[in-house]
Amino acid sequence: MLPRLLRLAVVTVLVGIGAGIGGMLVTLALRLVQHLAYGYSAGTFLDGATHAPPAVRVVALLVAGVVGALGWWALRRWGRAIVTVERAVDGRRMPGLATLANAALQVVVVGLGASIGREAAPRELGALVGGWLSDRAGISERERRILVACGAGAGLAAVYDVPLGGAVFTLEVLLAQLTVGTVIPAVVTAGLGTLVARLVVPTDPLYTLPAQLSWTTAVRWSSVPFGPWFVAWSIVVGAVLGALAAGFVALTARAAARRPRSWRILLVMPLVFAAVGIASVWLPAILGNGRGLGQIAFDGAIGMLGLAVLAIVKTVATTGTIASGAAGGTLTPALAIGAALGAAAGAPLHSLTGASLSAFALVGAAAFLAVTLRAPVTAIVLVVEFTHATPWMLLPMVIGTTAAMLASHPWRRRRAPGVD
């Protein structure tokens, strides 16, 4: 018994470390591509893209379309079929070289500005590490599946510095189990992956909030200028965003089902990416995985109409990117769209009460993401870790997310693609 448990413990530790290394490599590669493409050395990707000449954005997206089209066409024509993380958790083996190539293509196109999430690549790498180590350790099939899921969650935790979010993602989304045998490896791998990746991944929150909404400064409810009306708003807007998020899931699912499977990708992807590049001449915030749009929403720097337009265009750009044949994630695009819609819906009350638009954006982000992932707990935990939001925001976020899940139930048929 002891040798088996000891072997399992060693593999669990190695999976966490391997996923952390994968997240670290994804982060470094993404920064390199972004800095080379847009010619900046400091600041965020949105800063670099905004200050780059408009022609640079168009060219960068066109290059992304050409590279992605050639890469995915060749990979799907001559490589082994890609196995998603969900299927790997179910027991399918992930092809090593094809998975690495698929992850590399995602990093390159997202770094060049493609409107899709980057989080699928580190999840796939973490799952690949988990499966590879498990096969060589000779553990049981059930234990192998758990460690594949833990590797994927640890990859997510590593690339975004969200240890709790990565562990909860593993348990709620991938395993749908809450036992001692799943919680311990999920927490250990996510924690180790985060620690390893911190060699290059910043520990600052992914999104910054006003001081009164940050957990480092907002220490009591009285520091957050809301009342019962905000809870009522969370119910109503959460329900609306839940229905809209279900529509987003349906759109992306249909886009994935209809994406070109043959040589047509060589025509479709460059055209779609070029169109996104042209749109970015006026709306640079639609570029990349959605972090720029999310920060704009949390800043409350633009008005209701501007936020709504950005959310709509981001939705079209992300759906079009998936429909063109690209692989990638929808987590950060969904969070950004939800934050923008939440802030837009809260703008009238912001004018009446002076309440921070960031609070409305937080509720919108959690509600929209919960429906997209079909995982309300994961969504709330991720939004809190991404933003370091004060615990006093948990109540409206939980209420808004619950309303969103209930409202989306009649419309949900399938999970969004691109989660892998």
| Alpha-carbon gap, residue 51 to 155, rounded angstroms | 31
Does the pLDDT value for residue 199 go beyond 90?
A: yes
Q: pTM of whole model > 0.85?
A: yes
Tens-place pLDDT, residues 220-275: 544 455 678 898 999 999 999 999 999 999 999 999 999 998 899 999 999 999 99
| Mean pLDDT confidence for 120-126 | 96
| Mean pLDDT confidence for 28-52 | 94
Q: Which residues touch 229 (CB under 8 Å, ≥6 apart)?
A: 349, 353
What mean pLDDT is reported for the chain? 92
